[in-house]
Structure 1
Amino acid sequence: MPYLKRFVNLITEEYDLYLTDEPFANGLLAFIISSIKNKPLTVTLRGWGDLTNAHNEYSNLKFFFLRLISNFVLSKADRIIVLSKATATELNKIYNLRRFYVIERPIDVKYYSGGKRSIKYSIPTILTVTNLRYKNKFRGVVEVIEVINKIKKKTGNDVVLLVAGGGKYLDELKEFAKKFDFVEVLGFRKDVPDVLASADIFVYVSYLDAFPSVILEAQAAGLPVICNNYGGLPESCGWAGIVVKDKKDLEQVLSKLLTNKKIQRKLRYKSYKKMKKYNAVAVEKYVRVWDETIKEYK
């Protein structure tokens, strides 16, 4: 919706609270409307990549102005919500986040738990789903492939790795994967629930993530989850999965999990148990903060 039309729509309607999920153009618009209407403003920050230029996608000049606008909007917000403690830590290196709350991102648990097995292998199937737009996520996939290759060489056991996700590093990944006969690069997939249902174990390694929802999606599908200890990954994984320290640790944990059905079942149950109440808890936190903000403003 064009900004003028959006402005007219917001100015003619009555709301108790204005919400925005970024402090750039939409954030500035939300601040202007909330000021005119004399209503509170809440900003939800989904990550730190854009706000810190971690992807190196902005020129110095563009980032200077984006940072200027963000600082202004965040300083005027009545409440700031971040998805993870890691997000708050990274953002506080540049911005002064005042009155922030850490609240997890809800997901459609029913949708991700309802997949049908569409890719069928008779051998253990490992899955990773990522956004290959970013080099630091591509790097994580390469690391997973290298670790599985080591496990195969040591044990001689058959295994397949499915890699789902699109982005500018997809072609580079396909070229790299040609060296390994156990890797199937699926590319971008719309049928994520079916892909999740096709796996036995979910592994996610990334070096740029605030709170990856793909880990929650895998847990919603009832998969055992392993992730690395970076950024918001441990917070997303929580008590239901396994967080590894490094490549050596990943090799040991994954090797054991591949051959131990009992541990797989235990982790599957943990995923199910966590996600059964996950959304209700997250939504309750959001509503509590919104209600508190509205009451305080009156």
Structure 2
Amino acid sequence: MKILISCLSHSWGGMEMFTVQSAEQLLKNNLDVYLFCLDGSSIDLNSGFIPEQKKLKVKSNAYFNLKNIFQLRRFLLQNEIDLIHTQFSKDLWTISPALMLIHKKIPLVFTKQLGSFIKKKDLLHRLIYKKVDKAIAISRVIKQNLHETTPLEEDKIVIIPNVVDLEKFDPLKYDRDKVRNELGIDKQTFVFTNIARLSPGKGQDTIIKAIIPIKEKLQNILFVFVGEAEKSEKFYEEYLLNLVKENSISELVKFLGFRKDIPEILSASDAFIFPSYAEAFGISLVEAMAMGLPNIVCNADGVLDIIIENETSLVFNRDDIQKLSENILRLRFDDDLRKRLRFNSLDRSKEFSFEKYNEKVIQLYRGLKTNL
């Protein structure tokens, strides 16, 4: 089966990385993979496993670009593409018009990673979305958002969660002491870690506020924050730094900024805190679970599709600082609780493997081809 993977994005974030990873996985499952991307983009540069003759590379991702539309139409026909799967909703403005110019039926699959507050049910959007045969939502909250904001009927939307590379996030592969030694953290210190962009929606201030009333009980404990703020949110980073300084908890908190060695950081940690209250899914949480970290999460959005309360995770409601403080102390001082959450988190993380994802996506592809 010839599959065209599409993502006309200049960036190199979670969506773009997943586009490349999923294309590579499809190749490993003996599908014939083609790529529609921006020339010179990070997706282009990181997809060397796809031959150049199987790539359609364009210069612009502008809406309703006539040149792109006709180039895509020609590429689809010349290569006899069987199915298109786009990871980027903006691409629909190129793909749908191209399909309208082709008499042959080519199924279109669209993955939605993030929610939107913009209603897209006008006549033009109805025409664009009419060509979508199936939409993949990465969580229940995204499925609901798609149904509420687009013309797609509920039976056209399926949930297939995002995944992590379980071969990479394997606690047996890393030296716990190596990163600790680098950061000057001794073996006796209990480390709570948070990995996320520094942003109000990610809730790092909630962790700091939960530390303050129990700081006298937190001997030999360190809270590590990995991530940095975007330029537009540097105010939040300053707010966090001031909050730590004003409440005299600098010895309990360490900001590491952006890091690439995430598995190593997680291997050096004892527990994970994920206070985000506006999360479509929560990939860093799954990575922490795959590394066997007991965790505390905010009871919100896509996180609820990942965790099982009191089995994999302790839970608190948004802005419930007291409950988060209580959970921090419980997780630190209850060895049996940590062991149980660790075991269940490791087991639960297996549900978010590429193997599971491939199985579901390929079954979806084959079903669409069969129904033609």
Q: TM-score, normalising length from structure 1? A: 0.84
Residue 268 of structure 1 corresponds to 342
For the residue of structure 1 that corresponds to 2:89, the secondary structure is: coil
Structure 1 stretch 250-259 or stretch 169-178: which is displaced more?
169-178
Q: Which amino acid aligns with 1:162?
A: V
Residue 31 of structure 1 corresponds to 96
**1:18 lines up with 2:84 in the alignment:** yes
Aligned mates of 1:177, 1:9 — CA distance in 2: 56
Aligned mates of 1:66, 1:164 — CA distance in 2: 39
Which consecutive residues of structure 2, in runs of 5 or more, have no partner in the other structure?
Answer: 1-37, 39-57, 61-66
**1:253 lines up with 2:327 in the alignment:** yes
**1:233 lines up with 2:303 in the alignment:** yes
Residue 177 of structure 1: CA displacement? 3.2
8 Å CA contact retained: 1:128, 1:203: yes
Matches within 5 A, 1:38-77: 38-48=105-115, 51-52=116-117, 72-77=127-132
Percent of paired sites with the same residue: 23
Question: CA deviation digits over 1:224-275, x for unaligned, max 9?
Answer: 1211011111112345323322333222222111101111111111121122
**1:211 lines up with 2:281 in the alignment:** yes
Residue 148 of structure 1 corresponds to 211
Q: In 2 relative to 1, CA 261–167 (structure 1 residues): closer, same or farther, beyond 3 Å?
A: same
Residue 174 of structure 1 corresponds to 241
8 Å CA contact retained: 1:126, 1:161: yes
Matches within 5 A, 1:72-87: 72-87=127-142
Residue 59 of structure 1 corresponds to none
Residue 82 of structure 1: CA displacement? 0.2
Aligned mates of 1:188, 1:27 — CA distance in 2: 33
Q: Which amino acid aligns with 1:125?
A: V
Q: Which amino acid aligns with 1:290?
A: Y
Q: In 2 relative to 1, CA 264–91 (structure 1 residues): closer, same or farther, beyond 3 Å?
A: same
Structure 1 stretch 144-153 or stretch 88-97: which is displaced more?
88-97
Aligned mates of 1:17, 1:43 — CA distance in 2: 11
Aligned mates of 2:304, 2:159 — CA distance in 1: 14
8 Å CA contact retained: 1:203, 1:227: yes
Among residues 219, 238, 245, which one is paired with 1:157 in the alignment? 219
Aligned mates of 2:126, 2:97 — CA distance in 1: 15
Q: TM-score, normalising length from structure 2? A: 0.68
Structure whose CA Rg is larger: 2
| Larger RCO (CA under 8 A, 6+ residues apart) | 1
**1:281 lines up with 2:352 in the alignment:** no
Which consecutive residues of structure 1, in runs of 5 or more, have no partner in the other structure?
Answer: 54-63
For the residue of structure 2 that corresponds to 1:178, the secondary structure is: helix
Q: Which amino acid aligns with 2:302?
A: G
Give the number of aligned pairs.
280
Q: Which amino acid aligns with 1:240?
A: T
Residue 27 of structure 1: CA displacement? 2.0
8 Å CA contact retained: 2:191, 2:271: yes
Among residues 267, 270, 278, which one is paired with 1:200 in the alignment? 270
